[in-house]
Amino acid sequence: MDGKVAGRAVEPDARALAFAGKNGVKSISAGKGYATSKLCLILFAYELDRMLRQGNSSVASIAYDPGSIPETGLCRTYPKFAQWLVTTSVMKVFVRMIGVTIGSLTFSGAGLAKMVMDPPYADGSGKYFQSHNGTLSEARSSKLSYDKSRARKLWSDSAQLVQLQASEESALLPK
Is 80 within the bounds of a domain? no
% helix, strand, coil for the chain, step of 5: 55, 10, 40
> Quick check: is 82 in a domain?
no
User: Per the domain annotation, does 78 fall within a domain?
Assistant: no
* Boundaries of domain holding 136: 14-67+103-172
pLDDT higher at 2 or 92:
92
* Rounded average pLDDT over 109-134: 87
Task: Say what the pTM is.
Answer: 0.82
Q: How far apart are CA 7 and CA 144, in angstroms?
A: 15
Q: Does some domain include residue 56?
A: yes
Mean pLDDT of 95-109: 79
Neighbouring residues of 143: CB distance < 8 A, sequence distance ≥ 6: 1
32 part of a folded domain: yes
Contact 133, 123 (CB under 8 A): no
User: Does the residue 161 lie in any domain?
Assistant: yes
Three-state DSSP state, 128:
strand
First to last CA, the chain: 34
Top-confidence range, 22-26, 30-34, 121-125: 121-125
Question: What is the predicted pLDDT for the residue at 6?
Answer: 61
| Tens-digit pLDDT profile for residues 79-88 | 888 778 877 8
Q: What is the CATH number of the domain that holds 58?
A: 3.40.50.720
